[in-house]
Amino acid sequence: MNPSDEEKQRLSRRRFLASGLMAAAGAGLSAAPAAAAGTTDNAPPAANPSPANVVEPFWDKYQAGIITPVQKHTNMAAFDLTTSDRADVIQMLQAWTAAAARMAQGQTAEPLGLDASGPAADSGEALELSPARLTVTFGFGAGLFIKDGYDRYGLAAQRPAALVDLPKFTGDQLAETRTGGDLLVQACADDPQVAFHAIRQLSRLAYDTAQIRWVQTGFTADSKPGQTPRNLMGFKDGTNNPSVKDSQAMNQFIWVDQEGPEWMRNGSYVVVRRIRIALEHWDRMNLAFQEQTVGRHKYSGVPLGGTKEFDKPDYDATDKDGNSIIPENAHIRLGSAETNGGAQILRRPYSYNDGANFTAERWPPWRQEMEYDAGLLFLCYQRDPRTGFIKIFDKMSKFDMMNQFVTHTGGGLFACPGGVPTGGYIGQHLFEKA
Piece of 38-46, 56-64, 86-94, 255-263 that binds a copy of itself (CB under 8 A): 38-46
Please state, in angstroms and rounded to a whole number, the distance separating the CA atoms of residues 285 and 234. 12
The alpha carbons of the chain give a radius of gyration, in whole angstroms, of 24
The three state secondary structure string of 388-413 is CHHHHHHHHHHHCHHHHCEEEEEEEE
The identity of residue 214, as a single letter, is W
Minimal distance, residue 271 CB to a copy of itself, in Å: 20
Please state, in angstroms and rounded to a whole number, the distance separating the CA atoms of residues 41 and 230. 46
Instruction: Report the Cα–Cα distance between both ends of the chain, in Å, rounded.
Output: 25
Does 175 bind a copy of itself (CB under 8 A)? Our answer is no
Q: Which is nearer to a copy of itself, 262 or 328 (CB)?
A: 328
Does 422 bind a copy of itself (CB under 8 A)? Our answer is no
Please state, in angstroms and rounded to a whole number, the distance separating the CA atoms of residues 163 and 385. 8
Minimal distance, residue 406 CB to a copy of itself, in Å: 15
Among positions 123-162, residues that touch a copy of itself (CB under 8 A) are 123-130, 132
Q: How many residues bind a copy of itself (CB under 8 A)?
A: 116
Exactly one of 9, 12, 39, 243 binds a copy of itself (CB under 8 A); that residue is 39
Among positions 90-119, residues that touch a copy of itself (CB under 8 A) are 112, 115-119
Does 372 bind a copy of itself (CB under 8 A)? Our answer is yes
Q: Which is nearer to a copy of itself, 383 or 408 (CB)?
A: 408
Q: Which is nearer to a copy of itself, 95 or 420 (CB)?
A: 95
What binding mask, one character per residue, do residues 75-94 give for a copy of itself by CB under 8 A, x or -? x-------------------
Residues 6 or more apart in contact with residue 401 via CB below 8 angstroms: 292, 293, 327, 329, 330, 331
| 3-state SS, residue 293 | helix
Among positions 311-330, residues that touch a copy of itself (CB under 8 A) are 319, 321, 323-329
Among positions 177-216, residues that touch a copy of itself (CB under 8 A) are 177, 190-194, 196, 200, 203-204, 211-216
- Would you say the C-alpha torsion 93, 99, 102, 103 has a positive or negative sign? negative
Among positions 218-247, residues that touch a copy of itself (CB under 8 A) are 219-224, 227, 230-235
Among positions 1-30, residues that touch a copy of itself (CB under 8 A) are 14-15, 17-18, 20-22, 25-26, 29-30
Q: Which is nearer to a copy of itself, 90 or 132 (CB)?
A: 132
Let me know: does 243 contact 249? Beta carbons within 8 Å.
yes
Among positions 45-64, residues that touch a copy of itself (CB under 8 A) are 45
| 3-state SS, residue 5 | helix
**CA triple 384-86-63, angle to 5 deg:** 40
